[in-house]
Structures are given as C-alpha cells and as structure tokens.
Structure 1
Amino acid sequence: MDTTSQKRRDFVLRLGKILGVAGATSVAPHTFAKGRSANIKSVSLKQGAKGSQKLIFELDKSVRHKVSTLKNPDRVVIDFLDTTSLTKLKLNRNTAASKQLINKLRDARRNKNDYRVVLDMAQQAHPSSRMSANNKSFFLEVALSPKQAPKSVEQKTRQAISAVSGGVIRKPIVIAIDAGHGGRDPGAVGKRGTKEKNVALQIAKRLKKQIDRQPGMRGVLIRDGDYYVTLRKRIEKARKNRADLFISIHADANPSRKLTGSSVYILSDKGATSEAARLLAKSENSYETKIAGARLHKNKTLNSIVVGLAQEATTTKSLEIANGVLKELGSVNNLLRSRVESAGFVVLKSPDIPSVLIETAFISNPQEEKRLKTARHQEKLAKAIFKGIRRYQVALQDIDSQYS
C-alpha cells in the first residue's frame, strides 16, 4: 500500500475508533479561534555570501509557517498557515542576485485557509527561516544555502537510506487516465467523421507516456483499446489500481459549430450529495463498502461522517488539480471559460480519489476537429494536462511535512 493510501486509512480508522469508544452520535465541525488571515504583500530575493540567497516575504501580521524540502526535482516548500495573498506573487530579484539558486517561484492557495509557495531549485539547498518585525510590517526571511553535490556512490547510498527510512518505501503516485466513451459508444462525432472515443484514447496514451517518464509517477489507462467500459467500472478500476488521481479525457460538442475552447470539470455539490446517499445506502446492504481504504459498517452516523470528510478533502484536491490543468490548457488552446466548472458526471463521483474531467476542445467545430486529429496538437494537449498533474505531485510528495 502506498503512503498516501496508508495515510487516508490511518486517519479514518483513528476517527472510527474514537467515535466508537465515545459512543458519539454527532461530531461538531472544525472550529478554530482565530482573527483575520495574514496577507502576503510582496516577496523579494537578495544575494548572500558563498552563493547563499535570502527570500523575504513581507506580511501584515506574524504567521505560523512550515519550511520543507523535496527532491526529484529539488524544491523548497513554504507553507503559510491562515494566510492569503491578494495577488499572484512575483519574484523581485535584487540586481546583486546574479548567481541563482531559484529557477522559479510558484504559489497557490492550499486547503481553505493556508497558502503554499514552492521554489523550483537549480540545485539542492538547505533552508532556514525566521520572523522579524519593522513598524507595521512583518517579514518572514527564508535563507537558502547551497548544498555540495555528493559523489555518485554517496548519492545512491543516501537515496537508498532515505527510501527505506522508517521501514516505508515511497511508491509512485498513480494517475488513472480515462479515455471517454469507447466501443459501441463513439461519443461526439465531428463533421469530418472524427470520433471522440478515438481522439480521447490517443491523447490518453500520449499522456501516459509523459507521466511514466516522470520519476515518482505512474499512469494507468482505464481502457487501452476500442472497447466499452461502464462508468462505474471506470471508477472501480481506478480504485483497484490504488489511484491517487483520476483524469477523464473527452472532446466537447455543441449544435453551434462556432463554439470553441477547452474546459475542465469537477464534481458538483449536488452530484457529491447524491453519491454520498448512494454509498450510505450501499453500506447498509454490504459489508465490503470501503472509503479511503477503510470499510464502512452499520453505524450510520459514523458512515455519514467518514463519507462527508472524505468528499470534502477530495473536492478540495480536485479543484486544486483542475485549476492547474485549466491554466496549462490555456497556453495551447483558447478556454471556453476561465474558471473550473462543476457537474454531476458519474466518473467524477469517487469520494476518496480526486477526479477531474477535461473537455479538450470542440470536435463539433471544424477547425478544432482538424487540430484534434493531428499528433502535434494531441501531444500539446497531453503535455498541458501533464503539467497540471505535475503540480499535484508536488503536493502529494509532501506527505511527511505536517504542521507542528
């Protein structure tokens, strides 16, 4: 079992044990006593001695934070608790900072209350941090010192030790890739006779190749040929392969042939509610129903809580990956809408696997149909989807970085 699935299982089992002992019939929602969120005003970079650099975040109040590192590729992750940023952060480099440790800065909201900054590093670096104040401003200083590259034998040894540390071997992140329709179901058909099922499968196969080339990631095709798979079977296959993410690939259609653009969907609240009801009904008739690796049982209250918590966490992660994919798709195709949409698609209804449905383009539009048939455009779409998924991998690899 991979560490992500184990983490989910352990959480749900601990919850069940606590509720079982207490004999509780309800659980209050999470409540935190806190004031307004901190706001990140700006970030700047300064050059230090011996190749070191200092990243300085200006905030309007002091914050709790967590700094950690990730490898393959090298990154430094800075998590701000109960913090937001009113604008996307831009790295203002000091003119003296010519020797760069940082290739790129990425930032995004994490969960509902926190903020994450990821630094893509040019080489390994050791980070340290401290808070300081000046008048009405507060500053988080993250110092970055370059690490000397180890010799090849030493590097392999350290990686081996790290991999088995604590008796846990990190498994690759599994992405279930669902090519829509198939077999007797052609999906939408373009004016030139292009079938959605074929385009979706071709893009899915290209996406799998890109995923499999990335260390720490593995793609699983829900269907690898022209045959029909029921919607529920698609979810079941993803779960059997212990998928960490479910991506469903489609091509849109509309009576108006003028309509163009890509769009990305996650499960709607209505769809989530109906799926929760279905699972709870199933748990009353079957002892084998499982959520997040834990078996549901006859305690209706506990089951309702477990399903609700799983769906809430899954929806948050689904939105994170959907936003990333939508942004990347915008670089290779125009967007139908600039925001992630929600709908009750059956393939999105897994309560414990973040799921996203992608309408790559309008096959009903003659120009987009023509592009969808070309290997070049399919490769561009697959690469854009991969880049969005890659952002999700960064978050999942931070399994051991918990707030203190």
Structure 2
Amino acid sequence: MPRSTEIRTKSVTSRPRRTLLKAGGTLLISVITALPARAAQIMAVRVWPAEDYTRVTLENDTDLKASHFIVKDPERLVVDIEGLELNPTLKQLVAKIQSNDPYIKQVRVGQNRPNVVRLVFDLKEEVNPQVFTLAPIGGYKHRLIFDLYPVNPPDPIAALIQKGEWSRDKDTDSKPPLAEARPEPKPAAPEPQANAKLDLKDEKALVLTRMITIALDPGHGGEDPGAVGRGGSREKDVVLSIAKRLKAKIEEQPNMRVMLTRDADYFVPLHVRVQKARKVQADLFVSIHADAWVEPTARGSSVFVLSEKGASSTAARWLANKENAADLIGGVNIKGHDRQLASVLLDLSTTAQISDSLKLGSAVLNEIGGINRLHKRAVEQAGFAVLKAPDIPSILIETAFISNLEEEAKLTDDAYQNQMADAVLKGIRKYFAKNPPLAKNRLT
C-alpha cells in the first residue's frame, strides 16, 4: 500500500476515537458537577445552662455559616445553618434542653430547605444572642456557638442582698458600715483635740469590723475542662467542689461573705471573672486550680500572684500561658463588644496590688504546706490574666497536680478537699489579722 494511503487511513480511523474521548470527558465533567457538595457532619451537641447565660455548642467537622433572628410574642430565636443536613446527633439537641434551663423552654430542629437546617429556640424571656464560630483547638474540632444572654442580666450584689449579706445603705465605696448611723457633725465650734482623736479611733474601729467580701474563682468550666487526670478526673469539677466547700466555711465567719465567679459547670471568660469581683467590690480574689505537668511524677501545691516583670520561673511562665489559653478553649466571641473593655481592664495592674497579693499568697501558702507537700516553698509570679484586677489582692492556688495519680486521688477525696478549704481560710484570716481592711475606695 502506498505510504500516503496508509497515512490517510490512520487519520480517518483516529478521528472517531478523539470524538469519543472528548464526548466521554464532557460526560464525566457533567457527572462530577451534578454531584451535590458533601454536607457537614454534626459530631456532638452540648448545652451549658447557667444563671449568667445559656450556651449551646454544635461541634462539627467543618466551618459552618449561620444566620439568626428574633421573633416576638412569644420570644423565639431562629437560627438557619447552611451546608447541613439533619442527622441523629443534631436531633439529640431537643432532649438536651432541661426544664430548669433559665432561658430556653425547648428547641425545635428541622430541615428548612435542602442543605439548610433550622433551629427554633422557644425562650423563657428576652435574650441578647451571640452566635459565632470557633476554630479547632485542643481536642475540639470546629464549633458553632450560641450564647443566650438575658436582656436583664442577674446582679451579683442583688444576689447578696437577697441572702441578707449586703445592704445598700451600709456598704458604700467610701464609707465603712454603720457610718450612716453615727450622728451628723454639728456646725458648732470644733471639739477639743482629745475628742477628735477619740472620733478617729471610733472610725478606725468601724472600718476594721466592716464586712469583708471575698471572690472565689473556680477555674475553667463548661467547654473548658481544664486539666484531666489519668483517672479521668476533670480540673473544672474538682476546683468547683473545693470552692463550694471554702465558700461554706467562709460564710460561717461573722464578718465575711462570698461571691463565686461560677457556681455550676459553665464557662466564664477571664476578664468577666475579674469584672464580677470588682462589681461586688471584693477585698480578695482567690482563683482555684489543679495543676498538670507533662511528667506524671510532678507533685505539690503552689500559690501564684501577678508579675509585672516576667515569670519567676520557666514553669510559672508555662502555667500562666496555659491558664491564659482558657478563653480560646472555653470559647470567647472575640468580635464581641467587650474586647476593648477587657483589654483596658487587664492592663491596669498596680504595684500596690501585687505587693498585697504577695502577702496574701505567703499566708495561704504557709497553711497549705501543713496539709500537702509544696511544689515551691515561695510564692511564684507570672502574667496570669485572671489576677489583673487593679485594686484587689489576687492569688491563684494550684491545689495539687491532677496529673499525678496519688494527688489526683487526694483531689477527689472529700477529706482532702475540706483540709484544703480549711487551710485557705486560715491563710485568709491570718492575712487580714496583719493587714486589716480599710474603707473601700475602688477605682471606677
């Protein structure tokens, strides 16, 4: 066969093949584009009811986009979540809402339209919702958060008034208790100097016997479990139990009252813990934790105060960084309006506050040393964000190493928790014996 004929034949036979391949490729592309995008998978649902606010968490395998709006009469929060198909895990949310939830009556879950799930929260009162997402961190994947804050938030001072531990007439920023009961000075000539000295002495006596307010801060909570022991004990549970025992013991004192920054299993941002203490004009701030370390042999109790000049040890710096990461793990809406306020507040620490905190820390550390081995025999310092109240002596107590099996057993033991509470109370009493409280004069 001539060469030219052979070439023509190959050319003719290859043309249908190219056409077929092109058609097949077009068919393949059309099939691929017709396939729907894979819906996100809800992996867990959690609800954290508290008097401060109720949090609902949806943990999922990808970032979700949500929109929300409020419906009136009756009050409802409607949330539409895109890229989601209803699955059994998400349906579990209905049963997670308990009858004692302060703000949610019930929730309804349904497929609003293809690829969009709608949640309808029937509310018990008007709320200010915050809806935001959190990137994966620690053991968590992507999280979609609904924080339902009451329009009329609870007042910690009102709670103390209700318990009979606060009087608006007797507790003021500038006067000691019972000052109003004293006779008003007469516009007559000045009294003799001896009487003036007597008045000053009486005034000092009134100041020294005024009611002392102590803020107890159980670390972590809610989405943030804190450290977890090898036996499964969670720091957030242990420290809340110790704080409640300490609260009961302090309330037995004739001139002391207590405010807990959290009284249940929910998350409180670091700067909000400080704000709560300042709102009740606390005289002391005591944050309670249970330490963890990479080596399971680490053991002992510690007390920390704030440092303006850097940490007193590498371990103290590491611990402060870990504790300061609580907001990332627990979940703070960084787009919220409180961000600037928090930044300003946490930069107002003073030398006087640190000096008083060291005195308090030493008194407490000495008492704790009587019931447990001390990890360090001196009070340590580091940049703990939760200790930065500018006008309140503040300490952070690491009650023991929950990462140590022996100490984990102590931390979950009723007797040890009571001993720890007794030791802290003794330390606080000894601090005030040497540093009696003066008339309150808080920064605004």
> What TM-score results when the alignment is normalised by the length of structure 2?
0.45
Structure showing greater relative contact order (alpha-carbon pairs closer than 8 Å, 6 or more residues apart): 1
Bigger radius of gyration, 1 or 2?
2
> What TM-score results when the alignment is normalised by the length of structure 1?
0.49
* Higher share in strand: 1
